Structure 1
Amino acid sequence: MKDLGKLKYFLGLEIARGPEGIYVSQRKYALDIIVEAGLLNAKPCSVPTELNHKLALASALPHTNPQQYRRLIGRHIYLTFTRLELSYNVHILSQFMQNPLEEHWLAGLRVVKYLKGCPGQGIMLRSDCDMKLTAL
C-alpha cells in the first residue's frame, strides 16, 4: 500500500478541503460532457428542462443514433452524484433509453446547456455540521 497524499481527484470527483469543510464537485466531468456534446459555444439555459414538458407523449422521429443518446444519459446519471438537482430530469430522460426520439435527444442537450451555466456546482460537506437534514 502506498500513501498518495490528500485526495484531490478520484473517479471524476474533485475534492477540495478548507477550514469550512470538504467541497465535492464534478467540474471537469461536466466540462467533458459539454465538449463531447459540441455545445461549448452554446448559450446556457437557466433551467434543465422545459416547463410542463410532455416527453412521455412525444411523437417525433426516432433519434438517428440511439447509442449516442444512451451515452449522454449515462453520463448524466453519473453526474447526479454531486448534482442532485438533475435527478428528476435524468430520471425522466432515462425512461427513453430503449427507443429515444429526436425530442428526447433535444431535452438531453438542454440539460447539457444547463450544465454550461454552472459546471462547478457541487456538494459542500461542512465541518461545523450538526448532522441534521435541512431542506430549503
Structure 2
Amino acid sequence: MKDLGALKYFLGIKVAHGHDGIFLSQRKYCLDIIDECGLSGAQPTDTPLEQNHTLLSSKSKPLSAPDQYRRLVGRLMYLTHTRPELSYAVNILAQFMQTPLMDHWDSALNVVRYLKSSP
C-alpha cells in the first residue's frame, strides 16, 4: 500500500477540499465536450432545452453520424453527476439514441452551448 495524498481527480471529477467540505467539479470535462463539438466560439444559451420542444414529433432527416450523437449524449449523461440541472434535457435526448434526427443533434448542441454559460 502507498499513500498518494489527498484525492484531487477521480474519473474526470475534480475533488477540492475546503473548510466547508468537499466540492466536486467536472469543469475540465465540460470544456473537453465543448471543444470536441467545435463550439468554443459559439454563443451560450440560457436554457439547456426549449420549454415546448417538439423532439418526439420531429420529421427532420436522419443524422448521418448517429455514433457521434450517441457519444455526445453519453458524455452528457456522465456530466449529470455534478450537473443535475441537465438531467431532464439529457433524459429527453437519450430517448432518441436508436435513430437520431438532425433536430435531436441540434438540441444536443444546444445543451453544449448551455454548458458555456454556466460555471
TM bucket, shorter chain? over 0.9
- Per the alignment, residue 60 of structure 1 pairs with 60
**Structure 1: runs of 5 or more not aligned:** 121-136
Q: Match of 2:65, as an amino acid?
A: N
Q: Which whole-Å CA distance do the structure 1 matches of 2:43 and 2:22 have between them?
A: 31
Q: Which runs of 5+ in 2 are unaligned?
A: none
Deviation of 1:51 after TM superposition, in Å, equals 1.7
- Paired position in structure 2 for 1:6: 6
The alignment covers a number of residue pairs equal to 119
What SS class does the counterpart of residue 24 from structure 1 fall into? strand
For 1:60 and 1:100, the matched residues in 2 are separated by 10
Identity of aligned residues (%): 58
Residue identity in the other structure for 2:28 = K
Runs of 4+ in 1 over 2 A off after TM superposition: none
Post-superposition offset of 1:20: 1.1
TM-score normalized with structure 1 length: 0.86
Distance 1:89 1:75 in 2: 13
- Deviation of 1:99 (Å): 0.1
Q: Which residue is 2:49 aligned to?
A: 49
Normalising by structure 2, report the TM-score: 0.98
Larger radius of gyration: 1
The alignment's C-alpha RMSD in Å is 0.7
CA distance in 2, matches of 1:21, 1:47: 29
Quick check: 1:115 aligned with 2:96? Answer: no
Q: 1:55 aligns to what SS in structure 2?
A: coil
Structure 2 residue 66 is matched with structure 1 residue 81:
no
